[in-house]
Structure 1
């Protein structure tokens, strides 16, 4: 899998002075474009379009300083139809406009070319199972929060603390009405990432709710309908929230690259017992997945 990802990045790099065909990049990686974008942002810590723009501006910066092409020629070469749009993108990376950079010989910023490699850090076993689940509904309350890779997510904590007793009681009542064996059972959280990315600060709709049948009445609560599909369920035990954040990282950087599954659209579900920061707790992480349709193996 890592070899195919690096081949895809090689193709992307060769296309920076033209139109980048993301569908072709994903085809070389032997995954869907949706999964490639999500996997890249989880591995690289930035969205794929941001990486492409930063790499283009790195190459453009060298040509601006070289002085062999006009600024408009450099802009057109890297996909910008106007000097103004090019100047904005240039300034976003380098902190200075291209004209001023050329005149003064300014110090510029470089985005290094990325490649992925395996780093063995402890060979921790990951406990998981694959679940086929019928359509269901999440009923509860949602808020917009940013992704936090390390440490406490204060926006998510504030949302949990904002729930009044009546809302919590109502959610528990709905959960108790469900047939025995409904999974995941109890009050859980769900994250729907709005950009598909997994970079620090990516916006998500963050739900606190319970899983019900697809036709459950919501009354004063919010509802999220989830279609039938396949889920990879990971069991976890460790200090909160660091163990969960490490699990989430390992799922994307280790489990997906070595298994015959890719991500698919849908919420990520987390069932955990709330504890004080640093205390041990048991948790379950549910990730929507589908079989790798390439048949190529990992």
Structure 2
């Protein structure tokens, strides 16, 4: 599948630049999706974060470099992206369990992180309830937070916690009671982070307030909230019922590792939407497009 080829092309790009600057803009360009969406996909199919993989590959090569050369350790540290010997020493010791200087003076055991490669795997063991729908343009109203793409997985839960404490969640529930349109529920939307603007992204917490069909009446967005307009697109809508966070995480893993590689579809470059209803009921909306060969 084309998307697997692109993922492997990203891995090749990383491999070629482990001793140079790795551009997240370039990763987004190669992957043809936002950096945040690629990071999410990578973490579920590789069982490690993208930044962790890059760090571990660099520390693997750095150990070989120290062992096989007489180059100063500080120069090797800088070659693999560290700005100080102290930072490199801490990272090296955390990964390998020994100080970098010991590699040349003692017999030590070192860890390796091999280059990763992705293939299509048909497991057939997991059952996933989904539907594919052509959905008209729609509007989401709520709050928007600008966050660093690389820290999104840590910051997003904090956004929800703050919204629960400061009354934002209550106001969104009130807005939802007026609207009750699909995508339904409280929505968490990850938007932006595309090629050319990969360092930051927007995270929206909101509800659907308009769908582009004649019979739909638009709900007025409160003055202190913002709107996100999404175009007409094809969406795969996946049931993700169950206790959080496992239900959502298992859904993404099944989607990226089993459903998408065998579906005949590719990812469309639109935000991913998580819909939170009540009684441990959730949906995940992911925009897709046919794969053209």
What's the TM-score, normalizing by structure 2? 0.66
Q: CA deviation at 1:36?
A: 4.6
CA distance in 1, matches of 2:9, 2:193: 25
> In structure 1, the residue corresponding to 2:58 is in which secondary structure?
helix
**Which of residues 172, 175, 189 in structure 2 aligns to 1:191?**
189
Aligned to 1:261: 266
Higher relative contact order (CA 8 A, sep 6+): 2
- Alignment check: 8 A CA contact 1:141 1:221 kept: no
> In structure 2, the residue corresponding to 1:98 is in which secondary structure?
coil
Aligned to 1:278: none
Q: CA deviation at 1:57?
A: 1.6
2:249 aligned with 1:252? no
- Alignment check: 8 A CA contact 2:57 2:115 kept: yes
Q: Which moved more, 1:113-122 or 1:100-109?
A: 100-109
Change in CA separation of 1:191 and 1:89 when aligned onto 2, cut-off 3 Å: farther
Q: CA deviation at 1:40?
A: 1.9
Aligned to 1:287: 286
**Which of residues 171, 174, 179 in structure 2 aligns to 1:175?**
179
Structure 2 residue runs of 5 or longer lacking an equivalent are 195-200, 212-217
CA distance in 2, matches of 1:22, 1:140: 26
Aligned to 2:235: 232
CA distance in 1, matches of 2:170, 2:24: 48
Change in CA separation of 1:92 and 1:218 when aligned onto 2, cut-off 3 Å: same
- Alignment check: 8 A CA contact 2:74 2:84 kept: no
CA distance in 2, matches of 1:271, 1:50: 29
Q: CA deviation at 1:12?
A: 3.9
Q: Deviations over 1:101-160 (max 9, x none)?
A: 545555544323323342615152542213333141323697989749xxxx79847744
CA distance in 1, matches of 2:141, 2:254: 26
Q: Which moved more, 1:127-136 or 1:231-240?
A: 231-240
Aligned to 2:117: 115
- Alignment check: 8 A CA contact 1:94 1:109 kept: no
CA distance in 2, matches of 1:239, 1:264: 28
Q: CA deviation at 1:58?
A: 0.8
Aligned to 1:200: none
CA distance in 2, matches of 1:36, 1:166: 32
Q: Deviations over 1:186-222 (max 9, x none)?
A: x3221327868xxxxxx98462x32113985433653
CA distance in 2, matches of 1:143, 1:36: 18
> In structure 2, the residue corresponding to 1:218 is in which secondary structure?
coil
Aligned to 1:52: 54
Quote the RMSD (CA, aligned, Å).
Answer: 4.4
Change in CA separation of 1:13 and 1:226 when aligned onto 2, cut-off 3 Å: same
Q: Which moved more, 1:246-255 or 1:101-110?
A: 101-110
CA distance in 2, matches of 1:73, 1:154: 38
Count of matched residue positions in the alignment of Structure 1 and Structure 2: 266
Structure 1 residue runs of 5 or longer lacking an equivalent are 177-181, 197-202, 276-280
Trace 1:61-76 onto structure 2 (pairs within 5 A). 61-71=63-73, 74-75=76-77
Change in CA separation of 1:233 and 1:24 when aligned onto 2, cut-off 3 Å: closer
